[in-house]
Every structure is written in structure tokens, then in C-alpha cells.
Structure 1
Amino acid sequence: LLCDEATSALDPKTTASILDLIQEINRRLKITVIVITHQMSVVEKICSRVAILEEGTVVETGSVEQIFSRPRSRAAKNLVFPEGGNTVAVTPAQKNSIRVVFNGAVAANRPLVADLAIEKGIRANIAYASTKSVGDRAFGSLFLSFDDEAQKKTAVEFFTKITDITVEEL
């Protein structure tokens, strides 16, 4: 079944009904559904795999979880993080910074920054945060900066122990 912009210009209630219908057809008839859309909310709700196209060329493919948690191509980053949060610039004042990535993390429902402050006595500045729910899982990024390198290292150790979270030093 090919659905080309099936929810374009529809009100939210009708969009939800159409997406429910597409999912029902997929489940009941066990047929592959190809969805063409610019709406990442549609991808989040009904897709399991995604291909990102730019100027007619496939630039990235993978599971929805992979693309939403770690978009690699410029096109995927622009679609997943249209506000540009995936490429937050680190200023000299934020040189002791990390990026915490939620890879379908249940932990996103936990007050991680507060836990870091309470358990390790570290204050973190939140430079940027963005999460999206895909099904019942959270995907996104959290950029944190710290007063010094030692605090950054402690924070990296803290976050590394949490399931479905990856940490990058910036």
C-alpha cells in the first residue's frame, strides 16, 4: 500500500483516524505500507523503518529508533530536529560539555539532571534539550555543560551506567 502525503493538510482528528486506519490495514492484511510524508509525527506514530531522501536521493535508512536517536545525514537532522538542536554549538564558556542521547530510553521519564546533582553533587547547565516520543519510548538529546573537566568526567560515568542512553563528550 502506497500512501503519498495521506495526512497532508488534514485536521488533527482526521489525521489520527487515517493513521489508525493505515495501521489496521497493515496489521490485518499483513501488507507492507510505504508512507511518503514530510511530517515526522506520522513517522513517529506508524512507521518501524524509515528512508530519508534529499533531492531525490536516499541519504539515510534505518529503524525509526536509529534515525530519531542518532540522525547522521543533514537531511535527517533537519527533519528530526527542525529547530537545529542536534547541532548546538559549544561556546568556549561551555567547553566542559556533553551530549546525552536517549535511544528509546525509559530513563527519559526520570529526573536525570536532578539525580546527578543529588547523587554526585554536580550542577549542570542545560544548554539544550529535545525529546520525542515514538510509541512508548523517548528519543532525543540533552546538551549539558559543567564548571570543570572533573565534573564532566563524573557526569559521563553517571550517565554511561543508565540503559538506553549514550554520552558524547564535546
Structure 2
Amino acid sequence: MISLSQLAKIFPTKDGDVTAVDHIDLTIDQGEIFGVIGYSGAGKSTLIRMLNMLEAPTSGAVEVAGRNMNSLSGRKLREARQEIGMIFQHFNLLWSRTVAENIAFPLEIKGVSKAEQKERVDELIELVGLSGRGGSYPSQLSGGQKQRVGIARALANNPKVLLCDEATSALDPKTTDSILDLLVDINQKLGLTIVLITHEMHVIRKICHRVAVMEGGRVVEQGDVLDIFRRPQQAMTKEFVKQVTEPEETEEALRHLFDDERTGSVLQLTFVGGDAQRPLITNIVRKFEVDVSILQGKISQTQHGSYGSLFISVTGPQAEEAIAFMREQQVEVEVIHGG
């Protein structure tokens, strides 16, 4: 569906050239939700804007839905862009137009008849959960409702691809989740390919099938979301995964325990899929002469299953045997203190 080959973007400045995107190769499959995560300055916004040629690449190739985007200009480029919807962090709505008029705007530009516009707008208002708000103006809407209008407008021309540029960054956590649920619903109902960029791992964890991690203009790691959570390879990826799997106070709490001689071995256990629901701790206590204390833990859901991270302390004469047993159960065990 989307293929990037050695894609690069260099911005000339008075202080020298700045490489925003550094020769990226990437393939995104039809119908998947693909996330690109990175901190500010990583190059992710420039990357997504090159998919619809809002930003022209310095070198490399972009192919979307069978079209070589680099070779298009004028009318053909406008036609190609109609197959690529886009939503933005700050909504980009027309404040003098109602909800219905904002959604109809792309159809007006395309020359669709008034009757067809109304039919399509009514469909989209229902799809995004804004029934009864067609006559409202953006100033009368909440942030989440504004983004729903943005999504409906992006879908007006029945695009094959939806690009989301930090689409939930301006929203509170509860509203963010509702918008993410809507994107999953749209993906499933319409078979739409969704590409989203974010700096929040919660967004990736909740709806993405695969993810690419960007740093310094390059993709430093990519793969299935569950695999990335299970075995992050790069320091940057591990940092992002910790946003979701470890509460902020984990490190401080564990460091305090390290000073207590009674703590014993402190372990981090990682569970994936069905393993997250198994009674592992109960089995260990029954099977071995050990005391187990649960320090902290969290189970998160991804599109491909659950992912759990649990911190425990183990003391007793059979602590080593208990740790060996845990590893035999296909549970990843990292001894972070003692042992």
C-alpha cells in the first residue's frame, strides 16, 4: 500500500544543511494501522508530510496505493491527494463554517453535487458520532468533537489512506481514548490504512499493529507492536516502552528497596499474550520454599494481545530454583537486584 525507498529530506539553513529525514526504507501494508513514534525533532512530521507531497523529498521514492507520488504534479497530484486524507493536532477547521459545511468542503472543491454532498456528509456525521451537531460551529464544540469533524472531513472523498499528524496530542486522556477507538472502528469498517505519528507510546500500544521508532531522522527500530514491547532493542525504544509498562514511581520505589537487606532478589517479569493471565506467582509459592512480594505491575492491551510487566522480590532457600522455574515457563525474567 505504502512504500518508501531511501527517502530523505534536507533543509538548507544559513548554518548549514539539516537532515530531517535520513534515507528511510519503510513498507506499510494495506488495512493496517501503522505508528511512527519519536520525540520532537526526530523527523516524523516531515516524514508523514512527504507521503502526500506536502513536503517534497530531497531524494528517494514514495509510492502510495500504486502511485509514484514523486512523479506527479498539477491535476494528477491533486487527484492522488484525494485518496490520502489527513487530520492534524490543532484540527485546522474553518471557523466560519458549520460542522456539515466543514465536512463538505473537500466535496465542494471536487465539484460534487449538492445532493451528493448532503448524503455523504450525513453518513460521515453519523460515522464519527456527531449526530445532531451538523449545524454547530467549531467554537461550540469540545476538542474531541472538533477532531471528529476533522476525521469526517478527511474521509469525505473516500480515501484509501488516512494520515494522522499528532492527532490526539491536544486532547485529554479520556478524549484521546475515544478518538483512538473511533480510528480503530474506521479502520475495521472501511478497511482504511492509517498512518499516525505521535510521541506517546500509549497511542501506539492502544491501536497500532506495527510501529517504527524514529530518532535523528532515521528509523532505529521497527516491528509488530507486541514484539517491540516484549523485546525493545534500542535505548530510545526502551524509553518509550517504559512510558506504558512502568509507572513513573517504579524506579524510585525499587531503588529504596535495594537498600533493605530483607528484599532479596528483585526481578522484572515480562508476560505476553495468554501468559499474562497465568497464576505463576501462586504456583511458585506452592512449589518452592520461597516468599514472594509483588512490588509493582501492570498489564496493557495491544492490538495483538496483552503485555504484562511485574516487579517482584523473592527470598528463601529455594530462590534460585524458583527463578529457574519461571524461565522454564516462557516468562522473561530479568534480575535487577541481588540474585
Shorter-chain-normalised TM-score: which range?
A: 0.7 to 0.9
Structure 1 residues 14-23 or 1-10, which shifts more? 14-23
Q: Could you tell me which residue of structure 2 aligns to residue 120 of structure 1?
A: 288
- Where does structure 1 lack aligned partners over 5 or more consecutive residues? none
CA RMSD of aligned residues (A): 3.1
Following TM superposition, by how much is the alpha carbon of 1:51 offset from its aligned partner in structure 2, in angstroms?
A: 0.8
Q: Structure 1, residues 107-162: CA drift from partner, whole Å, max 9, x if none?
A: 323443233112323213445534322258332333444346842233322x2343
Instruction: Specify the structure having the higher radius of gyration (Cα).
Output: 2
Q: Secondary structure of 1:81's partner?
A: helix
For 2:180 and 2:287, locate their aligned partners in 1 and report how far apart those are by CA, in whole Å: 43
For 1:117 and 1:136, locate their aligned partners in 2 and report how far apart those are by CA, in whole Å: 31
Structure 1 residues 6-15 or 142-151, which shifts more? 142-151
1:160 equivalent to 2:321? Answer no
Equivalent residues in 2 for 1:38-57 (5 A)?
38-57=199-218
Q: Could you tell me which residue of structure 2 aligns to residue 100 of structure 1?
A: 269
For 2:181 and 2:295, locate their aligned partners in 1 and report how far apart those are by CA, in whole Å: 37
**Could you say if the C-alpha distance between residues 149 and 38 of structure 1 is closer, same or farther in structure 2, counting changes exceeding 3 Å?**
farther
Q: Could you tell me which residue of structure 1 aligns to residue 236 of structure 2?
A: 75
Match 1:15 to one of 164, 170, 176: 176
Q: Could you tell me which residue of structure 1 aligns to residue 306 of structure 2?
A: 138
For 1:110 and 1:34, locate their aligned partners in 2 and report how far apart those are by CA, in whole Å: 34
TM-score when normalising by structure 1? 0.75
CA contact (8 A) 2:208 2:303 kept: no
1:27 equivalent to 2:194? Answer no
CA contact (8 A) 1:96 1:147 kept: yes
Q: Secondary structure of 1:9's partner?
A: coil
CA contact (8 A) 2:201 2:240 kept: yes
CA contact (8 A) 1:129 1:143 kept: yes
Structure 1 residue identity aligned to 2:219:
V
CA contact (8 A) 2:289 2:317 kept: no
For 2:181 and 2:293, locate their aligned partners in 1 and report how far apart those are by CA, in whole Å: 40
Following TM superposition, by how much is the alpha carbon of 1:41 offset from its aligned partner in structure 2, in angstroms?
A: 1.8
Structure 2 residue identity aligned to 1:154:
A
Q: Structure 1, residues 18-49: CA drift from partner, whole Å, max 9, x if none?
A: 22332233223323211101222211221010
Structure 2 residue identity aligned to 1:102:
F
**Could you say if the C-alpha distance between residues 28 and 127 of structure 1 is closer, same or farther in structure 2, counting changes exceeding 3 Å?**
closer
For 2:297 and 2:234, locate their aligned partners in 1 and report how far apart those are by CA, in whole Å: 20
Aligned residues: 166
Following TM superposition, by how much is the alpha carbon of 1:53 offset from its aligned partner in structure 2, in angstroms?
A: 1.3
Structure 1 residue identity aligned to 2:332:
T
Q: Structure 1, residues 64-106: CA drift from partner, whole Å, max 9, x if none?
A: 10111222211111111133869x77959677554321122x2
CA contact (8 A) 2:289 2:316 kept: no
Q: Secondary structure of 2:309's partner?
A: strand
For 2:283 and 2:174, locate their aligned partners in 1 and report how far apart those are by CA, in whole Å: 38
